[in-house]
A = this chain, B = another copy of it.
Amino acid sequence: MPIDCKAKCGNKAALKRPKTGDALCKDCFFAAFEAEIHHTIVSSRLFRRGEKVAVAASGGKDSTVLAHVMKLLNERHDYGLDLVLLSIDEGITGYRDDSLETVKQNRDDYQMPLKILSYEELYGWTMDRIVAQIGRSNNCTFCGVFRRQALDRGAKLLGVDSIATGHNADDIAETVLMNILRGDTARLRRCTNIRTGGGEDSIPRVKPLKYSYEKEIVMYAHYKRLVYFSTECVFAPNAYRGHARAFLKDLEKVRPSVIMDIIYSGEQLRFKDTAKKPVRGICERCGFVSSQQPCKACVLLEGLNRGLPKLGIGKKSKGDRMIAQQNQELALRERANLVKNDF
């Protein structure tokens, strides 16, 4: 027997909300999903009237839903925002070329201007060529570092006040987990922030979907019949992150609140003052935001151009360093013959 929509609208329920377990009709699900994002935007003061905002658009489910909902809320609640789409073309044949077609469809459907910036024009390298040169072990490092900077550069070109990205609740929970597993307290410190960057010379990034469950984003796109591109990147994914992702999905089946639980944990965290905080500055070479001199993008690019693609790749984890340090202390103590009489 069909059950009633829990919102008491008089309709029959058509789905079970993944986040709350509530049985809802389609329209009440849309309303709840959109109202939550509106609530996030308002309560975190993500935007101000009159601002120009770039929606980082990949053509995937998250950014497609983000663009759709941003446009809808901007009109419904009269945010007064000037919305544009910003896409990065990494130069990955069979993946980004196809997904950019989806973004162009979004541009036409939502009547939002679209700017596409390519790695080719910014760095002189496509990801296809980078992978041909370095193989498939560290390619995601290059792609991530270049994309981060490319978005900054695109945002500067467009003169926007902020960049809205499609990071959803699952992404954030996964990143909290990854950073715990890596002992990366510098990243842990900022990965649950709904707004990052935004000092001088840096364009703030905001995450309106921070509390939206991935399952609900997929459900929303499905019932709204939004056009999105769902192929995985053709280059090998990060195995370590894959473990964390699979683990989270398993836990979510048992307890859907686990995603919010992890975000809550991340939001509550503070670190000992001894934990090193990265200091944001400007790369002297390229002039873009960086906490290192030169910035990571410039180091990686130099490695590529000089045929030394290992430059800037890989570092020991905190745990590795703790183990090495313990070993070293023990060796020193033994050498000083202190072990037997210092209790």
Contacts and interface: CB of A to CB of B under 8 A. Distances in A.
A175 B243 CA distance: 18
Given A183-B265, A243-B247, A265-B183, A258 B329 contact: no
Given A264-B318, A343-B77, A323 B19 contact: yes
Interface string A262-280: 1111111111101100000
A3 interface: no
Nearest to A169: B319
Top 9 closest A-B pairs, CB basis? A260-B319, A261-B319, A183-B261, A257-B319, A183-B264, A270-B270, A264-B318, A257-B320, A185-B268
A182 B261 contact: yes
Contact of A251 (B240, B271, B329): B240
Interface string A205-242: 00000010000000000000000000000000001100
Nearest to A273: B270
Stoichiometry, copies per complex: 2
19 contacts: A39-B329, A42-B343, A49-B343, A77-B340, A78-B343, A176-B180, A180-B180, A181-B261, A183-B264, A183-B268, A185-B264, A185-B265, A185-B268, A258-B319, A264-B318, A268-B271, A268-B272, A269-B269, A270-B270
Interface in A311-343: 317-320, 322-323, 326-327, 329-330, 333-334, 339-343
Contacts of A201: none
A262 B268 CA distance: 17
Interface of A: 19-20, 32, 35-36, 38-39, 41-42, 49, 76-79, 176-177, 179-185, 188, 211, 239-240, 243, 247, 250-251, 254-255, 257-272, 274-275, 317-320, 322-323, 326-327, 329-330, 333-334, 339-343
Given A35-B330, A180-B177, A243-B250, A77 B339 contact: yes
